[in-house]
Amino acid sequence: MAVVADILIVGCVALFLHWCFDIYKKNKRLAHIPGPPPIPFFGVKLPMNSFAIHTFFGNLIAKYGKTVKFYLGTKLVVATCDADLIQAILQNPKHIRKSSMYDLYRLFLRDGLVVSYGEKWKARRTLTNPTFHVSILKEFYTVFKEASDVLVGKLQEEADKGNVINAMDFASKLSLDTILETSFGEKLNIQQGSNHYYIKATNYLAKLLFIKNFSLWKRFDLPFKLFAKEYKEQEEALEHLDSMAIEIIKKKRKKNVNSDDGSERIRNKRSILIDALIEHPELSDDDIHEEVNNFLFAGHETTSTTISFLLLELAAHPDIQEKLYQEILYHTQGDKKNLSVETLQKITYLDQVVKESLRLRTTASVIERKITEDVKFGDTVYPSGTIFSILLYWLHNHPSYYTDPEKFDPDRFIPENQAKRHPFAFVPFSAGPRNCIGQKYATLQVKTVIARIIYEFKLLPVEGFKLVLGIAGVTLSKHGFPIRIQKRN
């Protein structure tokens, strides 16, 4: 027993010395970048819940400045909200690999567009880019408008009852309906039913995976399977998500029959994404499955979050809401039938309002990249393996880029004010080669929904509501998105 104890002691000392040497080498290169002192073996102590981690990043920036270094074990993390450094990272086509934080999402996103990299990512991006081209947005607008009409009907029922509603409950169903119809040709009318199993499953997994990412043992498959009480719920949620993708592919293959004369089938723009995937000769059913999962997840969660935060802000700012309403009335000539893609493009104040909400309540608070070779940015050489945590929320709320950043002020986005800012001081959809593939799609959907709601209703705040933000894939609101609605006269 004494020999075993001696071996363990020697092993621990050796590991400690290795850890110290590794940290020393990295610190020597980056001695000028401040950060919290590392705890042996652990690095920095991270909070274990979504809301505390949001506070953690905010405290780091407040204490150490725009760029901070810390360690997760021996992994070097450089967290930054510096627009110059963010530009250098995001614009460089070499730095498209995401960090290990995204590996947990492979449980259901597998090796799809959101998490893949290298040649596979480039091939999938090339294949799917045309399915979100601006030329088909008018076709998508029809779907957005129809879904918004259904939403208005649902909200009218709540207004008649005088209820306080959680905007996310409605936005989530709407966004799932629209992504299913525009990308996969599936009209499921989820808004007409109860809380859909897919929404429940994605919400649960997003929160669970965030917890696993910052747990010392839950992030590893074997101990999680053996000891975690959440394992059963995780598997049930994954089964729900996979069943949706499998059903979409089955239905599409059944419908996907060539015309009688043997000519090439004309593609339906409302199923252009699934068509592109199924018709690609090199994609297996598993390949198609992973991309269906990726677009369903990314397309519904981000948009519903954006809509919910925007409704919350408009309810809290009646002067801005009234100005937007008057702009909508002016451009539609008081007739909602005149709302169109062209009309929405003319309502410049709507564009400003959407951008200001994306700035103040950035949908994706943090994105990450991992560099795979030594890279020089400015005067600093960052070692291979460095993880860059790009703090978009804190970039968009930093006083060096935005005066009085906590104020909701759409005038920040009039052309002359935008021209004064750093070009990378506002990147809600990321930027560079790995920017959001669906940003024009999402923006049009958000504008369509907001314009219809504001045309029909006044949004009112809920007394006593306190906004507490968190992070779990997208930015969270701890107490939901409560608003009251009132039919306009």
**Residues 218-255, buried b or exposed e (16+ Cβ, 10 A)?**
bbeeeebeeebeeeeebeebeebbbebbeebbeebeee
Find, among 96, 128, 132, 87, the residue nearest to 115 by Cα: 96
Range list of H helices, 229-284: 231-255, 272-279
The predicted pLDDT at position 4 comes to 58
For residue 89 the two structure tokens come to: 């990272």
The predicted pLDDT at position 365 comes to 95
Measured distance CA(10)–CA(2) in Å, rounded: 12
The predicted pLDDT at position 260 comes to 40
- Specify whether the CB–CB gap between 71 and 46 falls below 8 A: no
Find, among 470, 387, 394, 363, the residue nearest to 47 by Cα: 470
Measured distance CA(436)–CA(91) in Å, rounded: 13
To the question of pTM greater than 0.85 for the whole model, the response is yes
Q: How far is CA 271 from CA 87, 156, 214, 265, 441, in A?
A: 35, 31, 38, 13, 14
> Residue 165: how many CA atoms within 13 Å on its side-chain side?
24
The predicted pLDDT at position 209 comes to 81
The predicted pLDDT at position 339 comes to 93
Whether 12 has a binding-site annotation, put simply, is no
Q: Name the 3-class secondary structure at 344.
A: helix
pLDDT tens, residue order, the chain (489 aa): 666 565 666 666 666 555 565 665 666 678 889 999 888 877 888 887 889 999 999 999 999 999 999 988 888 999 999 999 999 999 999 888 988 778 878 888 889 999 898 899 999 999 999 888 888 888 899 999 999 999 999 999 999 998 999 999 999 999 999 999 999 888 889 998 866 788 888 888 888 887 787 777 888 888 999 999 999 999 999 998 899 899 999 888 887 654 444 444 445 666 688 999 999 989 999 999 999 999 988 888 999 999 999 999 999 999 999 999 999 999 999 899 999 999 999 999 999 999 999 999 999 999 999 998 889 988 899 999 999 999 999 999 999 999 999 999 999 999 999 999 999 999 999 999 999 999 999 999 999 999 999 999 999 999 999 999 999 889 999 999 999 999 997
